[in-house]
Structure 1
Amino acid sequence: MPLDEYPFSKKYGWVEDKFGVPWQIIPKEMNEMISNGSPEQLRNVTQAFLEMKKIDLEALKQAYES
């Protein structure tokens, strides 16, 4: 099934399926950080993520642990 790109999809991992349903691809570890982190850890991960052109899991882990 081909997936279409949004203008911002390469930066944030968004795709759209043939039915028009949008999906965001997020690494499992990133979801766990967001779900289980403190407010400060969430802020650090979010800030690091927004500065990325591609998701860098190691950089997100460093932001989470700092």
Structure 2
Amino acid sequence: MSSTGFTTCLWFDGVAEDAAAYYVSVFKDGRIGRTARYTEAGPGPAGEVMVVEFEINGQKFVGLNGGPQFTFNESISFQIHCEDEAEADYYYDALTKDGGEESACGWVKDRFGVSWQVVPPGAIDLVTDPDPGRAARATAAMMKMKKLDVAEMRRAADATA
């Protein structure tokens, strides 16, 4: 059995095309693919966008205009592993502006309600440190943050009781 990878389907209420355009503008390596429109067969109004394919940072997505029945929640999120602090700042700011919102521990919700985890370099290493005390101190510091501050997490990890 062969696999061709995964495509993530995001369910929107009439704004899939806007969302796809937004994501390819935020992520530097993004592009819009095929767009399919509803026909007279429905279930949406003929001519309106049914699905739009897009790709960001090598990950394939489909935006589906499925209606208001389902909405996004924080139980699913996408992690953005950043190369440096500047990239982390860029994504954090880009995803929270124009109606997005901050949450805890580096999580943000964009203006469409999709949750993202902006992970600056070193953050995961600190909370998974093989020294349980260092990991606990870094994690405790992280739990008090919205935007992750790796320097502060490192200071907390290095502190002695």
**Structure-2 separation of matches of 1:35 and 1:13:** 16
**Structure having the larger proportion of residues in strand:** 2
**Structure-2 separation of matches of 1:16 and 1:54:** 12
**Structure-1 separation of matches of 2:129 and 2:136:** 12
TM-score computed with the length of structure 2 as normaliser: 0.31
Matched positions, count: 64
1:25 to 2:118 alignment: yes
1:62 to 2:155 alignment: yes
Contact 1:33-1:64 at 8 Å conserved across structures: yes
**Structure-1 separation of matches of 2:120 and 2:108:** 15
Contact 1:16-1:22 at 8 Å conserved across structures: yes
Contact 1:41-1:65 at 8 Å conserved across structures: yes
Q: Which consecutive residues of structure 1, in runs of 5 or more, have no partner in the other structure?
A: none
**Structure-2 separation of matches of 1:11 and 1:58:** 17
Higher RCO by CA contacts (8 Å cutoff, separation 6 or greater): 1
TM-score computed with the length of structure 1 as normaliser: 0.62
Percent identical:
29
Counterpart of 1:46? 139
**Structure-1 separation of matches of 2:109 and 2:144:** 23
Residues 54, 15 of structure 1: CA spacing in aligned structure 2 closer, same or farther, 3 A cutoff? closer
Runs of 4+ aligned residues of structure 1 deviating over 6 Å after TM superposition are none
Among 8, 11, 16, the alignment partner of 2:104 is: 11
Contact 2:107-2:146 at 8 Å conserved across structures: no
Contact 1:5-1:14 at 8 Å conserved across structures: no
